[in-house]
Chain A
């Protein structure tokens, strides 16, 4: 991804907003977990817009606040430990800071850990004088007996420092006032950090840079430090004008490493941390007050014998509760397999999805009455196409919200990184990091929700791998189809078939992941992360995270699903000569199915009705539940199990079908979510093709294995 295309993609705000108000552009910078999102949300009132770095699944939120006749635009940058960081995140932050160039940089320093997080504020102050520093989480700091001398910090840094707490709602006005003041103040000098043994080198590079006529927003000393640090972004940025300085800095870097036995990046980090530790030592006081309860909980969470158990139990419990409320699954299956069929029916009837479905059914019957006099095609378009498409999206919504809420609670309380720690050595065996269990488990209920939780994994290569592999995990909708197929072959063989399908799908994911891990080093699961303190999540932050994820799903993924559903409706409602038909066997989809029959002969699909099986598979692409209803429609037999039986398929063919249905792309929603999360058509298509091919190959193998066994 080139920088210019990112800049083009990141819609910068207009220089002047409506009403002629001046816009002050503010970038929010800070360590991971410093409280950026919480503060951003409090400042902008939760009204965020999203910009994406294409293909990197990194979202950047921006939003607006009004203060004293100005409009302030806040951009919530991804968390970084230093401006020197490489990788996509580092590139994004630097292209915002150096190419987009905010008017004021708001740097957050964690009130519960000033000494470490101050190092980033130092770097920002070295770059620019237009910096405001916010101390975050003052309420937490207070409850831990930490006192921060704000004025002292401000003096030491030469920048405005504002104490804030989202928990208490403290400091927001003051922050905006400080931003406006700093924006309107005259230029001051950048901060100077002493880099000890590097100083002579820095002086030499700086003087070269001064002759190179760099743009005025770059001060030579800051650039010199970055060059010595081998920051490739800055090297590219100034490379054209200051080639010589860049090359000299590289040579000096080698010299320094030889002379000091440490490379410049290490020396620079050390000097900065020394400075921030000493500033913090003079301005932060701790009384011995401590949080006993959280610490005791942490002893358990970080105990290697207990941690994996607690983590897995917690994740499964959340999964169980969340899904049962929404869909009845898996409680309904458990109840009915233990013989409590009446209870299971209750659970099936009174869950969110069932209630919504009843509501939608009622709405449809109203619509049908209203549209009695309109032509058939219009009725079909409105009811089956439009309302059908909308209800696919709506039925997902409560589930997506629940999953987003669980996700936000885990992230915000500090539990998520602890789970990742406890699970990591175990998931590593199949080439996945500890972050991947939560999305994988959610996928067993619903692939769409599970794939949305993939963003928990900090490694891009791993996320990509999860988007491609996790859809192989059978979700609840596929289970419903399996149960019908199992009933069609007779219960015992069918039941064994279902169990084997589950086992095989999970093993396939593990195996493919393991193999990818061996082939591609970059997706190898490493773990290098902060483990923030355990604490009560902030209601406001959790709510906002869950809500913004749901909204994102509704608008982006929802519209892709809706369009897909309309297209599918058109395919099954029009003949190849584009006439409307209410007889699906004359539709375009039926014609395509008939053309595809030879492809499915290797799994024993033959005879007059063979195309119906394929028609069902095509309908199942929208959502697996639709597979069954479409079989009923196309065969004209209302009971889907009898409908399947009426096709006269052999046992081997049905088992092969089961394998195919387990593996080929679960639903339109899954593909939509892969596309909207990665912003890449290529990744979404790869997932689609991979799943079709894998499903096909496995289905053929299953068919032949069983045909042989039956001989």
Chain B
């Protein structure tokens, strides 16, 4: 399954993070917050221009829309176990 920008997933979808096209400082920060490649997160809210809210290991994280366009993820279930 193709990785798509996080901003394209719907509320309630569970996804696996694949990577991020962000500069190093932000990209690493994302990893350290729990959004590393391979991490499973749940999209809690996604309303277009609003920050995307995801649940990461039990915490709620807000990612502004412009960043969410550049974080890539796959729908859970699409990956080979």
Contact = CB atoms under 8 A, between A and B. Distances in A.
Contacts of B61: 528-531
Contacts of B21: none
Interface string A305-345: 00100000000000000000000000000000000000000
Interface in A226-280: 229-230, 262, 265-267, 269-270, 273, 277
A424 B36 contact: no
A303 to B, nearest CB: 8
Given A277-B57, A421-B50, A421-B51, A527 B29 contact: no
Interface string B41-74: 0000101011101001111111111110000000
Interface stretch (A81-89, A156-164, A167-175, A441-449): A81-89
Nearest to B56: A116
B63 A304 contact: no
Contacts of B66: 526
Interface size class of A (residues with CB under 8 A): 35 or more
A81 B32 contact: yes
Contacts of B25: 86-87
Contact of B36 (A273, A420, A532): A273
Contact of B64 (A87, A270, A307, A528): A528
A424 B56 CA distance: 21
A529 B62 contact: yes
Contacts of B62: 417, 420-421, 527-531
Contact of B28 (A84, A115, A302, A530): A84
Contacts of A119: 32, 34
A63 interface: no
B36 A270 contact: yes
Contacts of A528: 26, 29-30, 33, 61-64, 67
A152 interface: no
B2 to A, nearest CB: 15
A527 B28 contact: no
B32 A84 contact: yes
Contact of A526 (B45, B49, B64): B64
Given A86-B25, A270-B39, A113 B63 contact: no
B12 interface: no
A525 interface: yes
A267 B67 CA distance: 21
Given A421-B51, A424-B50, A531-B53, A116 B59 contact: yes
A236 to B, nearest CB: 16
B78 interface: no
A266 B37 contact: yes
Nearest to B50: A304
Given A230-B24, A270-B39, A531-B53, A424 B64 contact: yes
A265 B51 contact: no
A85 B33 CA distance: 10
Contacts, number: 110
Contact of A273 (B34, B51, B53, B64): B34
Contacts of A304: 45, 47, 50
B57 A265 contact: no
Interface size class of B (residues with CB under 8 A): 20 to 34
A425 interface: yes
Contacts of A229: 28
Q: Most chain-A Cβ atoms within 10 A of its Cβ — which of B26, B27, B32?
A: B32
Interface in A423-468: 424-425, 428
A115 B56 CA distance: 10
B45 A266 contact: no
B29 A85 contact: yes
Contacts of B65: 425
Given A265-B28, A269-B31, A116 B57 contact: yes
Contacts of A307: 50
Contacts of B58: 113, 115-116
B59 A113 contact: yes
A269 to B, nearest CB: 4
Nearest to A273: B34
A82 B45 CA distance: 26
A82 B32 contact: yes
Contact of B67 (A420, A422, A527): A527
Given A424-B51, A527-B51, A85 B57 contact: no
A526 B38 CA distance: 24
Contacts of A422: 50
Contact of B63 (A82, A84, A527): A527
A530 B63 CA distance: 9
A307 B30 CA distance: 25
Contacts of B38: 262, 266, 270
Nearest to A112: B58
Contacts of A269: 31-32, 34, 36
A456 to B, nearest CB: 15
Contacts of A267: 37
Contacts of A262: 19, 37-38
**Among all A-B residue pairs, the 7 with the closest Cβ atoms:** A82-B32, A527-B64, A81-B32, A269-B36, A269-B31, A116-B57, A304-B47
Interface of B: 19, 24-34, 36-39, 45, 47, 49-51, 53, 56-67
18 contacts: A81-B34, A86-B25, A116-B34, A116-B58, A266-B31, A270-B37, A270-B38, A277-B57, A302-B53, A417-B62, A425-B50, A527-B62, A527-B67, A528-B33, A528-B63, A529-B62, A531-B61, A532-B59
